[in-house]
Amino acid sequence: MPIISMRNVSKFFGEFQALKNVSLDVALGERVVVCGPSGSGKSTLIRCINRLELHEVGEIVIDGTTLTNKPSDLEKISSTVGMVFQQFNLFPHLTVMDNLCLGPRRVLGLSEEQAQERAMKYLNRIQIPEQAEKFPRQLSGGQQQRAAIARSLCMEPRVLLFDEPTSALDPEMIAEVLDVMTELASSSITMIVVTHEMGFARRVADRMVFMDKGEIVEIGVPEDVFTAPKSKRFGTFLNQILNH
Amino acid sequence: MTRLLILIPALLMLSGCANNWGWYVVDPTTTSGWNNLKFMANGAYYTITMSVTAIIISVVVGLLVTLPGLSKKRGWRMFNRTYVEIVRSVPVLVLILWVYYGLPALSGITLNVFWAGVFALALSDSAFQAEVFRAGIQSISRGQYEAAQSISLNYRDTMRYVILPQAIRRILPALGNQLVYMMKMSSLVSVIGLQELTRAANELVVTEYRPLEIYTILVLEYLVLILIVSAGVRWLERRLKTSDA
Ligand SMILES: Nc1ncnc2c1ncn2[C@@H]1O[C@H](COP(=O)(O)OP(=O)(O)OP(=O)(O)O)[C@@H](O)[C@H]1O
Ligand SMILES: [Mg+2]
């Protein structure tokens, strides 16, 4: 059974249709990379999965729970799905350690000791244990994004969503974040990553999803897609970003 | 600023020599002057306790009024707007009179002058606090709410641990201004007879008949109080800033 299953999902912003009849199954442990031109609905797609946006039409089933638009859904999926944002969105008034401990303490009910132990485990994993007591703005962009990844991991979600996690970073910091994500991909966590880092996609993705104008135009494994995409639109898109 | 504090009375004293002022009424070297000064300074007790109590209450009430104002539901927002518009449009003095003389007739609840003053000041100020809080909370980016939601914090915890701590840092200067404003507004409570700074000065003027000197001292009393408050607020601001700089 897929951990995420979207059936004919449509999403409207007023009159504007941001998702058109989107269907996508993601298996447990699978790593999916989503790409497509700006405004094609990539963010909207993953934001519908973790309920930052509510869809109007179709069905989204996460880990056996069908999402309706009731607030109680949020609680049901919340421990299953985590999210990493383009702008990191760390809490600026809290230290890195406190950023990481907040969820485990308040939501999972861990003791302070347990929460800190868990936080250190993930800070070690993303290789910034020495930054624990610093505030976000004292960290480099790459370190902030890694801390944000660790904050998500502390909730031990089964699915982790990434919305362009490296596009707000200076070029020299992109690699360190991608390295952390590549390392993550070797674990059992399910990942859906919106990114234009095609090197990363080639290395890590089990499947690639190409979106355009609110539709999923093509889904394929990286080898096929990079050698010969089926649709012309995907071909043009790949050409553009690979040659630029 | 401290220099100014010394300069003003010094100048007044000097001019007093030429203009036949009567600084003796507040001359600390004489027994009666010293007693008069003490009498005036004692008013500070009520000015301070009343303003501080009122600001605490008005911050809490202001926050309680703000939150429905941020709701998606129209009814809640209407409640917020109605409260703010009505309370904000009543002059503080009128509110004080109404609470002290009107409320007992209406409800049978009689408040003593202190609590009537606190209640009226807090009520009046809460509408402003609500607006200050609203601006502060709305200045926090949507990403913060989304991050909180992505780690499954509920509404209460999101507000308590993520939004409000950041909002309060941003509105601290405005809160400081409100406290200063409150200290000045508290002088109006003298009309219902609370022995705060202004009332004390008024009573002394009646017996000593030296309004110029006594009111000058009164001005200085407020000046000192408010400088202390401003310094305190700045200190707090710096402290909060360095803790997450
Ligand atoms: N809250 C919103 N209100 C109105 N329109 C929106 C909203 N969010 C997104 N849209 C519109 O929906 C479309 C898809 O947006 P989305 O953010 O999902 O695109 P994207 O593929 O992530 O693009 P980008 O690469 O620029 O991030 C865009 O045309 C956008 O303008
Ligand atoms: Mg996007």
Ligand 1 atom at minimal distance to the Cα of residue A86: 27
**B contacts of A92 (beta carbons < 8 Å):** 166, 244
Q: Which of A83, A102, A135 sits opposite B244 (nearest CB)?
A: A135
How wide is the angle at C-alpha A180 spanned by C-alphas A179 and A181, nearest 5°?
90
User: Pairing mode, if any, of strands A190-194 and A159-163?
Assistant: parallel
The answer to whether residue B84 is domain-embedded is yes
Confidence of residue B243 (pLDDT cuts 50, 70, 90): low
Confidence of residue A208 (pLDDT cuts 50, 70, 90): very high
Q: How many domains does chain B have?
A: 1
Distance, in Å, from the CA atom of B100 to the CA atom of B105, rounded to the nearest integer, reads 9
Name the residue in chain A with its Cα closest to that of B148: A103
The pLDDT assigned to B12 comes to 64
Q: Which of B144, B153, B245 sits opposite A106 (nearest CB)?
A: B153
The answer to whether residue B8 is domain-embedded is no
Backbone angles phi, psi at A153, to 5 degrees: -65, -30
Q: pLDDT of B118-140, one tens digit each?
A: 999 999 999 999 999 999 999 99
Ligand 1 atom at minimal distance to the Cα of residue A37: 25
The answer to whether residue B85 is domain-embedded is yes
With an 8 Å Cβ cutoff, is A175 touching chain B?
no
The pLDDT assigned to B20 comes to 66
Q: pLDDT of A165-191, one tens digit each?
A: 999 999 999 999 999 999 999 999 999
The answer to whether residue B32 is domain-embedded is no
Does ipTM top 0.90? yes
* Chain mean position to CA A155: 14
Asked if residue B145 has pLDDT above 70, the reply is yes
The boundaries of the domain holding residue B166 are 45-244
User: Pairing mode, if any, of strands A190-194 and A81-84?
Assistant: unpaired
Q: Which ligand is nearest to the CA of A163?
A: 2
Backbone angles phi, psi at A53, to 5 degrees: -125, 150
The answer to whether residue B27 is domain-embedded is no
Q: Which residues pair with A190 in a beta bridge?
A: A159
Quick one: average pLDDT of A198-204? 94
Does the predicted model carry a pTM greater than 0.80? yes
The answer to whether residue B58 is domain-embedded is yes
* Chain mean position to CA A185: 12
Which of A19, A42, A162, A194 is the pocket-test mutation for ligand 1 (most atoms within 8 Å of CB)?
Answer: A42
CATH number where B178 lies: 1.10.3720.10
Distance, in Å, from the CA atom of B66 to the CA atom of B60, rounded to the nearest integer, reads 10
A12 contacts A184 by C-beta, under 8 angstroms: no
Confidence of residue B17 (pLDDT cuts 50, 70, 90): low
**A contacts of B142 (beta carbons < 8 Å):** none
Confidence of residue B33 (pLDDT cuts 50, 70, 90): confident
The answer to whether residue B190 is domain-embedded is yes
Residue owning tokens 């994993």? A125
Please indicate whether, in this complex, the C-beta atoms of B147 and A50 are within 8 angstroms of each other: no
Q: Is there an atom of ligand 1 within 6 Å of A38 CB?
A: yes
> A41 alpha carbon to ligand 1 midpoint, in Å?
6
Distance, in Å, from the CA atom of B174 to the CA atom of B84, rounded to the nearest integer, reads 17
The answer to whether residue B39 is domain-embedded is no
Confidence of residue B14 (pLDDT cuts 50, 70, 90): low
